[in-house]
Structure 1
């Protein structure tokens, strides 16, 4: 008798999207099947047809063609056709089954023979474990940042994000990475789904720098505001220049951003319409991050206005703020005098007398009101900065040819050194490049604003290549923004900028944390030239070349305004008639006075609070430890299973290229032409053209999402040679995902010790064997089965598989409850600890209000409820294992 009977229901193994087909005709060697869902008919050879019979079992839910559904109570067969008796006593021939059939469910795929190789099952489990470990680490949003792991930056980002509403002023000194800190905060909030839309307001000259930083260091794709057609309603991150804030005020306030970031916030004065826009954005955005290296430079009133933006309820009076600051200055002096006055401090602040001096200071730091909203790290408190050396080079004349000739000679004398060269304009850069090539055969890399990001990346990579790269990188003033080249220690200024802040920006390309050598700043000049006067002004008067001098810019602007009256002509300033001995002496005195004022105004308590140790170092250590294991093996396994090209090209760098034979249409985060990737943070920091493949990378997280929305690896059959288990019997390995269906899902994830549940059922046992047979050891002995044999196995065990699966569900439900009880306990402990700390702080720190505590209590309740009441198991993958002797 033929296997095929008219009226039977079958699916096509390679085209399950056709739905449930019905046999319409059977010939000697062919069978005709009509697919109602696709409205087409196909003919197949009866021998080895790529078809699987749909046969539902008792307790299966089935959908009917009339739109109703039911549960199978019994299965009858008559003349080769199946008749399903439902629990409501209806008799349903298989011809009445709905054409739509969901084969995305792993159990259905197993029962219908839609199988993948066993190694797919293990790969899904590896990927699940990797994602789970990342969530549990609570380091999400920091792992993928392309930057050196610097403790104070990590501390600022972590601590700021611990607040339910992140509203902070980042006031680190220039060069300490405020942009990195803000980017980390943004990245972390996005990772934990606390931010969906972001607005970044920046000085006009820094738009490209922010774009570069967000793209290259954080993997974000912001939209730059360009014209009135800009659509603020779409896209995740928008960058808007300060000059457009007033004009766009209404649009920005109506766009409903979750976070507003303002760089160089002191440039937006309180009395302006732009500041009024900030006030509106502050009221509508949950999170607000202000950046300024000079928080009080434009006066106490402006500083107070910015603090009011952050928290108007706490900062109500400038007089009160002054009184608090005087109290903190007194507390600073008392802390510096420890152990003298220790007993008085303990009594005044009701502290534990058993505390060490370090623990005592740590608790006193909590008393700093502004310290809860403001971070201020300073260079003097952070190790790792190099010395700076100004090296003038006298030339015979002031022509550009003389400068180019000197540069060629300097390069020849230092063949093993990388040299960064900066001049003001793009024309000078191009002329220099042409001269060096035509006259000396020197192939210098170019880096300027007319290049796109890819071209700049290639130029930076060519310069960074230690073997075959360029010795020189020629940059324009604007083109160098946002890029750092710590592997070089030689900066050549072929001209000097008109402002000390621009000069500091140039030097800052090399003078960064992580620079291992002294920075040499080379300045070619001709006697009595404008460059000579600039050199004297910056080096001898403002003292801002060999050191970072926060007073230099302010004094320069003051002299420009006072000396030149209304003209304010910088060309006039740099003349021998103006820069005379009298002006030099007066300016030096101004610099010293302002430096002394800045030093006297330092808030040591705030600085200590901005990078508490040892926590900051421990945080950097946790990240470094987590990264000791990279996703390399996972990517290798993915390339084997998905069929994309992956190979090592040279030390630490790999080529990853999609292929035409891939099992998926595209790879997440990888362009169609492929990419060079690295698993090394160090290489990624030097090679911005190479993709950093971290555990936070879009490729890793996207791969996980892609597999969980596909059938790949969902069902498989394997054999297990074993002497300990009875031959001929079966194991059913079943994996479930823990799915939190709540808007708090991302916040809940770190509290779950496992994001999946694995069970292992032996057909003749009522116990879960997963603890006795760990998946790693099981996988080492698993063997593949040819697909036709695997289907025969499934067919022979079909009636029993459902009962084994129900056992697995029971075991998983028990494990789920244990995991949820543990997660709720951890979540409650986490929030209760912080709530208790805030309640204690409220007695000594007026900046801590009852509202902040209430918000945290609400968060605790919401997270615990989401875990306990809105978490369910979702079948992820299933594997039938036949035990052989």
Structure 2
């Protein structure tokens, strides 16, 4: 595009100071003034002829233009007819033919979008200095994250817990991972799965994800995905799917969203929805509570197993989550592994033989991990397993452990961390509060009436006689007066009644959390409870409070009632008994003496031992004894009940011993290789300590008129404004509360955690990548080192290679940004003058002076830009070769490793190796089309300091 400076009626001009007016038409000219009509805004401006702030717009061959009817054309050639341009244009039609015509300048559309930096600069569209600096900084941050092994991890609101990050990094980096996550309760399987899903989505390894969970956990999963990972999953139930099909009977509901959470029973109960879910196709399938998937060689799988098996056959990546990988029996354990790799796990007998052989491997691995010296027998075993001799020193023992892990067992597809291995849990105590039942209390009524009588009296009448209420008031004003307390009851109405009584009659600061509240109200309640000095003393939750939220800063839990399911009870306790808890947890359990409440308490406490310890056998024991349990809960305490408790307790202890003896310490070590895990933690800590994003975000919002209000508690409130100078940001009209720091994000779940992977930040980066924000600037360079009045031209280019996101080709580029700095006479100063060196000496130049500089030096600017482009392109072959070499090495290392391990470990799938070979081939081919794209141009005018 060129700029001419003679005036003729019909010419198109752009206002340098009001570019929003669009492309204007010159309608009148005399010796002193010119008049421009701007059709887009239907306004006419009159300018002095000798210094009009206007840029003449003329298009060159191959430029794209738009006519007044909205059709887009490519310019083939141009001709000047007495100062007014005539364009010969063409366009391709759907049938493949070419339409050509002549288009007078006057017929060009008023809307114009100049995107290339040089075009904008020559049209005097000069951005603020701060915008230019922000653009370059944003491009550099994006280049750094694309090269980082932490990509996909930095954007998660999670603590830096080694075993979770190790599993996430190990599994999340794979293409189509198929693994079983089997950490014990409270170690964060949901977080591990979320980290993997987040990585898979952010790196493009997956785009469509289906999460199947029990109905009661759907909301918990949705909240976890949104709060921790900014992943917006849609909840699918029968109502939603029916609504979609009612609107369009031919539409597959599972094709309407990319990321879906559904109750597994929805697909079990409705074959048509099951078929549609399979037909929709997903990249990643996540199944929680996988121990409910039952299977035997004789009878096959139960309904849930069959649904997951069919989906797993048609889905590349599969994550199964269970806290009980083997306690339901080795056959059930084999069944879940069979879902992950049916080609390997074809026979239960073969699996049992392999496991038996693996025990000797695990035994020698334990010796390696201990301080025990290697005997001659140990050396012989290792040489037989590894194929070579090792010396008995720390480094060789460490290498031998990792070689055993890679070669043998199910370590590649099964991850299981235990509390004993992880450690760091302070423990928990049960503080029983037996209370006398009031007069007239039915001790032999229906089980529900004895256990939860308050639920049948929604008017709150139960509070008149229930001794748990005065006990609660007394303990909150007494021993728990200066502590944070979490109370959980089964239902919302009970919580509301209790909150009302505590707040109005006892003067206690309270907060509520139940299903009838909106998401925002729950966030506010949780934040009020978390407030250290003036926050709520007690947070009263319905059963939903035991799902999806963690309150490790509190250590006192009141179980106002007891649930009927031990898993639910463990969920309640798990809100406090988690990694990060600093104190022993005090579990307060009030119950009415002589009622089913007391018997249920004793069942949990004495038979299952669930209050003071994680009980891996609790759920299976209750399922095995459920009939006897119901009978005993309805009868008075007596010898039969005591015998029943003793019988179950004895069986529990035997099961726990069996589980302890069967602990696979080699598997536990593989689930969190300490050296690797600590490197990941250290890398994230270093990233957090040297994070430039907080300052960038503050500067960006200040520069674009986004309201950025820093609060005394360290959070910020971000709101859009009418004067906002950018559009397309991912922010609600009401704004948002946010934090830019991990520690605070973990304390305040009501505040969004802004990282480079947060949607709001990503929308800012999208503006940088797709719009012209900050792509031009003219500034003063105050220095004595250069001749006053001279000029420097700085051009930034991005090395571009168009490829599927999953290949991440940019990570193999030796550099993604190229900066060229030229003097006015064409001397290349790029290597001599670093941008950081001259930054302090750069100063703002007013808009009118910027335009004068551009107009006066137009020819030189065009020459220096072409020279800069030639220099950038000259270095492309070397960049291309280095990128190919990096990419080849990266994939070949992993391909060679897997091919080697496949000789020893059948869990290495040939399909996985074939996939890597295909990706390697695709990437190497795509590097042939590497280019450089101009990103920004700045003119530096040298003046004396």
Interval of TM-score (by shorter of Structure 1 and Structure 2) = over 0.9
SS of the residue 2:780 aligns to: strand
CA gap 1:13/1:655 in 2 versus in 1, 3 angstroms:
same
Give the match for residue 345 of structure 1: 381
Task: Confirm or deny: 8 A CA contact 1:118 1:879 kept in the other structure.
Answer: no
Give the match for residue 456 of structure 2: none
Give the match for residue 408 of structure 2: 368
TM-score (structure 2 length as normaliser): 0.87
Alignment of 1:592-631 (within 5 A): 592-630=653-691, 631=693
Give the match for residue 639 of structure 1: 701
Give the match for residue 422 of structure 2: 382
Give the match for residue 758 of structure 1: 819
- For 1:237-263, what per-residue CA distance to the aligned partner results, in whole angstroms no more than 9, with x for missing partners? 111112111212111111121111111
Q: Give me the whole-angstrom Cα distance separating, in 2, the residues matched to 1:144 and 1:682.
A: 13
- For the pair 1:484 / 2:484, whether they are aligned, the reply is no
Give the match for residue 179 of structure 1: 190
Give the match for residue 219 of structure 1: 230
Task: Confirm or deny: 8 A CA contact 2:728 2:763 kept in the other structure.
Answer: no
- For the pair 1:69 / 2:75, whether they are aligned, the reply is yes
Which moves more between the two structures, 847-856 or 219-228?
847-856
- For the pair 1:300 / 2:330, whether they are aligned, the reply is yes
Give the match for residue 845 of structure 2: 785
Q: 2:217 aligns with which of 206, 209, 222?
A: 206
Q: Give me the whole-angstrom Cα distance separating, in 1, the residues matched to 2:343 and 2:319.
A: 17
- For the pair 1:229 / 2:229, whether they are aligned, the reply is no
Give the match for residue 529 of structure 1: 595
Q: Give me the whole-angstrom Cα distance separating, in 1, the residues matched to 2:275 and 2:747.
A: 42
Q: Give me the whole-angstrom Cα distance separating, in 2, the residues matched to 1:611 and 1:745.
A: 26
Give the match for residue 408 of structure 1: 473
TM-score (structure 1 length as normaliser): 0.92
- For the pair 1:190 / 2:201, whether they are aligned, the reply is yes
- For the pair 1:721 / 2:782, whether they are aligned, the reply is yes
- For the pair 1:395 / 2:435, whether they are aligned, the reply is yes
SS of the residue 2:610 aligns to: coil
Give the match for residue 739 of structure 1: 800
SS of the residue 2:667 aligns to: helix
CA gap 1:402/1:817 in 2 versus in 1, 3 angstroms:
farther
Task: Confirm or deny: 8 A CA contact 1:9 1:94 kept in the other structure.
Answer: no
Q: CA deviation at 1:186?
A: 0.6
Alignment of 1:670-819 (within 5 A): 670-744=731-805, 747-767=808-828, 769-819=829-879
How many residues align? The count is 866
- For the pair 1:106 / 2:117, whether they are aligned, the reply is yes
Q: Give me the whole-angstrom Cα distance separating, in 2, the residues matched to 1:825 and 1:435.
A: 71
CA gap 1:665/1:836 in 2 versus in 1, 3 angstroms:
closer
Which moves more between the two structures, 605-614 or 524-533?
524-533
Q: Give me the whole-angstrom Cα distance separating, in 2, the residues matched to 1:335 and 1:268.
A: 32
Task: Confirm or deny: 8 A CA contact 2:292 2:304 kept in the other structure.
Answer: no
Q: 1:553 aligns with which of 599, 608, 619?
A: 619
Alignment of 1:150-165 (within 5 A): 150-165=161-176
Q: 2:46 aligns with which of 44, 47, 52?
A: 44
Q: Give me the whole-angstrom Cα distance separating, in 1, the residues matched to 2:181 and 2:909.
A: 22
Q: Give me the whole-angstrom Cα distance separating, in 1, the residues matched to 2:477 and 2:197.
A: 45
Alignment of 1:443-454 (within 5 A): 443-454=509-520
- For 1:702-744, what per-residue CA distance to the aligned partner results, in whole angstroms no more than 9, with x for missing partners? 1011122222211111121222222222111111122221114
Q: 1:141 aligns with which of 135, 140, 152?
A: 152
Task: Confirm or deny: 8 A CA contact 1:264 1:292 kept in the other structure.
Answer: yes
Task: Confirm or deny: 8 A CA contact 1:200 1:238 kept in the other structure.
Answer: yes
| 5+ residue gaps, structure 1 | 87-91
Q: 2:285 aligns with which of 260, 283, 291?
A: 260
SS of the residue 2:558 aligns to: strand
- For 1:95-139, what per-residue CA distance to the aligned partner results, in whole angstroms no more than 9, with x for missing partners? 489557541111100011111112211110111111222222221
CA gap 1:571/1:807 in 2 versus in 1, 3 angstroms:
same
Kindly report the root-mean-square deviation, in angstroms, between the aligned alpha carbons of the 2 structures: 2.8
- For 1:547-588, what per-residue CA distance to the aligned partner results, in whole angstroms no more than 9, with x for missing partners? 101112222222223x26xxx56843x742586222122111
- For 1:615-674, what per-residue CA distance to the aligned partner results, in whole angstroms no more than 9, with x for missing partners? 011111111111113321111111121111113211421222211110023532x22111
Which moves more between the two structures, 310-319 or 174-183?
310-319
Task: Confirm or deny: 8 A CA contact 1:652 1:680 kept in the other structure.
Answer: no
Task: Confirm or deny: 8 A CA contact 1:658 1:667 kept in the other structure.
Answer: no
- For the pair 1:847 / 2:907, whether they are aligned, the reply is yes
CA gap 1:481/1:575 in 2 versus in 1, 3 angstroms:
farther
- For the pair 1:285 / 2:322, whether they are aligned, the reply is no
Which moves more between the two structures, 200-209 or 672-681?
672-681
SS of the residue 2:689 aligns to: coil
Q: CA deviation at 1:235?
A: 2.1
CA gap 1:62/1:692 in 2 versus in 1, 3 angstroms:
closer
CA gap 1:537/1:39 in 2 versus in 1, 3 angstroms:
closer
Give the match for residue 544 of structure 1: 610
Task: Confirm or deny: 8 A CA contact 1:152 1:610 kept in the other structure.
Answer: yes
Q: Give me the whole-angstrom Cα distance separating, in 2, the residues matched to 1:544 and 1:69.
A: 78
Q: 1:321 aligns with which of 351, 359, 362?
A: 351
Q: Give me the whole-angstrom Cα distance separating, in 2, the residues matched to 1:101 and 1:666.
A: 19
